Amino acid sequence: MTDTTATVAEQGPDRTGPGSAGSPAAPSAPGLTLAALGVAGLVVSLQQTLVLPLLPRLMRTFDISVSSVAWVFTATLLAGAVATPLLSRFGDMYGKKKMITLTMALLVVGSVVCALSDSLGVMIAGRALQGAAATVIPLAIGMIRDTFPREKVTSAIGVVSATLGVGGALGMLVTGVVADRTESHHPVFWISAAMAAVGLAFVVLFTREAGKRTGGRPDLLGAATLAAWLVMLLLAISQGNAWGWTDRRIIGLFIGIAILLPFWVFLQLRSREPLVQLRLLAGPKSLQANLASLLLGFAMFAGFTLVSNFIQTPEDQVGYGLSGSVLDVGLYMLPSTVTMLLFSALAGRFEARLGAAWTLAVGSFIGGLSYVWLALNHGSAADVMIFSGIQGIGFGIAYAALGTLAVQHVPLEQSGIASGINTLVRTVGGSVASAATASILTADVIRNTSVPTVDAYVLCFVIAAVTAGLGAVTAASHGLRYRASA
């Protein structure tokens, strides 16, 4: 059996119509459906990174530290980590289109809240509402498996998955263009609200419900417990240096994690309808795919946060950086957008030849090389643009393959939750990256300033490179273990 045939065979039982056994009925206009899901995914990914070039400006506006402003970004990832398994489960229970529509509506509301915000607390609240929209990607992947013909599933998943990286890079460019013409953060979020409204309209008009409903009840206690220990973890990581690792508050947070994490696992094992099916999180065919997703999420989001700050560091004052503007951040990351678009479109061909796992391994390895380059060469705009181009190639390939790998081993009716769990661990990886890099930059600063040293940035680049490399090894290991379907 070829890799391609095996992959198709793993996509679940045939369907003759929505909700019944047989091959999934094709959407009446698959091109429009894919376009709608792609636009929604692009808008969601764009809002995740939209704020990154603004972080230095927000530090001055709200008079806050690096570790505090990082929560403007981390709150979005944290909310996504909690909302993704819950809303993915709702998608399997009540319909994926309903949940995509709901999350896009939350994105509109969250964007409006941020556009009206004049304090850090209000902005974080708005960003949390925006973060719930992270569920759109796994729901879209589940909808594709429900409605698209078998032969188009892999390429369609690749397109939607690739919006994660493309939208992320475009977000920084959009922010740069807008922020270059205004000193306020408000216009950026009004544009985000408008784009989210367009994405919502596309979903309402051009997608339809399909697939089997699983029924059941949501695991609200599991969601609350997950949120509690994740907040504790990220707070401890981000504030460890500021408060001191032996501070009673930090010790208390780790004690809380030690209590709540096993309790959450206990709840998931005992519940008839758990928030996270641990078999899909850590089962024999899922563990390595999810671990690769965790590592890849860390590597990619670490790059987004680090490069934005590095570019805007004033070289004439601290001896490194590019003295760039908010617009420069978007322009320097433009090569990533171009190469990601190109190579994510080619990822389906790579998967047909290599299988999803080996394609993911190749993409992760190339992504790791981009950070190696940046750790060694970061003195000019050309160095950053070369990094950007290489990163786009690697993550464009990797993210397209990751969407397929996450769901190819599960039945169709579990596509939403399986993809949601994979998104959950990737989002947790991104959240940890944001908190960890902020902690490193805060710990190693130039004497008598709050500005990180260049060595702190280099260390973070090396950590991102190692993490992406570990993701490649993990994916390759999965490919070796499950040759027939990887």
Confidence of residue 298 (pLDDT cuts 50, 70, 90): very high
Reduced 3-state DSSP string for 212-270: CCCCCCCCHHHHHHHHHHHHHHHHHHHHHHHHCCCCHHHHHHHHHHHHHHHHHHHHHHH
Looking at residue 413, its pLDDT comes to: 62
Please check the confidence at residue 425 and state whether its pLDDT lies above 60.
yes
Pair of tokens at residue 231 = 């907040």
Q: Is residue 199 part of a domain?
A: yes
Q: Is residue 248 part of a domain?
A: yes
Q: Is residue 424 part of a domain?
A: yes
Shared-domain flag, residues 211 and 238 = no
Shared-domain flag, residues 37 and 141 = yes
Q: Is residue 338 part of a domain?
A: yes
Q: 3-class SS at 28?
A: coil
User: Average pLDDT, stretch 196-219?
Assistant: 84
Task: Assess contact for 185 and 430: CB atoms under 8 A.
Answer: no
User: Average pLDDT, stretch 344-373?
Assistant: 90
Other CB atoms closer than 10 Å to residue 2's CB: what's the count?
11
What is the secondary structure of 354-407 as a DSSP string?
A: H-HHHHHHHHHHHHHHHHHHHHH--SSHHHHHHHHHHHHHHHHHHHHHHHHHHH
pLDDT, greater one: 439 or 16: 439
Shared-domain flag, residues 251 and 281 = no
Q: Using one digit for the tens of pLDDT, what is the confidence trace for 384-393? A: 999 999 999 9
**Which residues, in sequence order, are CB contacts of 170 under 8 Å at separation 6+?**
42, 46, 337
Share of the chain above pLDDT 90, in %: 32
Phi/psi for 435 (5° steps) reads -70, -40
User: Average pLDDT, stretch 280-306?
Assistant: 83
Shared-domain flag, residues 288 and 244 = no
Q: Is residue 394 part of a domain?
A: yes
Question: What mean pLDDT value characterizes the chain?
Answer: 83
Looking at residue 18, its pLDDT comes to: 40
**Which residues, in sequence order, are CB contacts of 279 under 8 Å at separation 6+?**
286
CA-based torsion, 56, 57, 58, 62: positive or negative: positive
Task: Assess contact for 57 and 326: CB atoms under 8 A.
Answer: yes
Looking at residue 155, its pLDDT comes to: 79
Shared-domain flag, residues 188 and 165 = yes
Shared-domain flag, residues 246 and 382 = no
| DSSP letter (8 states) at residue 63 | T
Q: Is residue 486 part of a domain?
A: no
Total count of domains within the chain: 2
CA-based torsion, 293, 486, 352, 421: positive or negative: negative
Q: How much of the chain is helix, strand and coil, in % rounded to 5? A: 80, 0, 20
Shared-domain flag, residues 51 and 147 = yes
Q: What is the domain extent for residue 41?
A: 3-14+23-218+275-481
What is the secondary structure of 110-158 as a DSSP string?
A: HHHHHHH--SHHHHHHHHHHHHGGGGHHHHHHHHHHHHS-HHHHHHHHH
Q: Is residue 261 part of a domain?
A: yes
Q: Using one digit for the tens of pLDDT, what is the confidence trace for 10-56? A: 344 344 444 443 445 455 578 889 999 999 988 988 887 788 788 88
Q: Is residue 114 part of a domain?
A: yes
Shared-domain flag, residues 364 and 229 = no
Phi/psi for 12 (5° steps) reads 110, 175
Phi/psi for 284 (5° steps) reads -60, -30
Shared-domain flag, residues 245 and 359 = no
Shared-domain flag, residues 241 and 339 = no
Task: Return the minimum-mean-pLDDT range out of 4-13, 172-181, 281-290, 406-415.
Answer: 4-13
Domain boundary among 274, 292, 312: 274
Looking at residue 12, its pLDDT comes to: 40
Q: What is the helix (H) or strand (E) element at residue 346, kind and residue range?
A: helix 334-354
pLDDT, greater one: 165 or 186: 186
Reduced 3-state DSSP string for 264-310: HHHHHHHCCCCCCCHHHHHCCCCHHHHHHHHHHHHHHHHHHHHHHHH
Shared-domain flag, residues 258 and 150 = no
CATH of the domain at 108: 1.20.1250.20
pTM: 0.74
Burial of 282 (0-12, 13-18, 19+ CB in 10 A): middle
| DSSP letter (8 states) at residue 453 | P
Looking at residue 414, its pLDDT comes to: 66
Going by C-alpha positions, the residue among 133, 134, 153, 151 that lies closest to residue 143 is 153
Shared-domain flag, residues 353 and 465 = yes
Going by C-alpha positions, the residue among 390, 398, 397, 393 that lies closest to residue 374 is 390
Please check the confidence at residue 2 and state whether its pLDDT lies above 50.
no
User: Greatest CA span in the chain, whole angstroms?
Assistant: 69
Looking at residue 150, its pLDDT comes to: 80
Looking at residue 63, its pLDDT comes to: 85
Q: Using one digit for the tens of pLDDT, what is the confidence trace for 309-348? A: 899 899 988 999 999 988 888 889 889 888 988 887 787 7
CA atoms within 13 A on the CB side of 312: 22
Q: Using one digit for the tens of pLDDT, what is the confidence trace for 356-365? A: 899 999 999 9
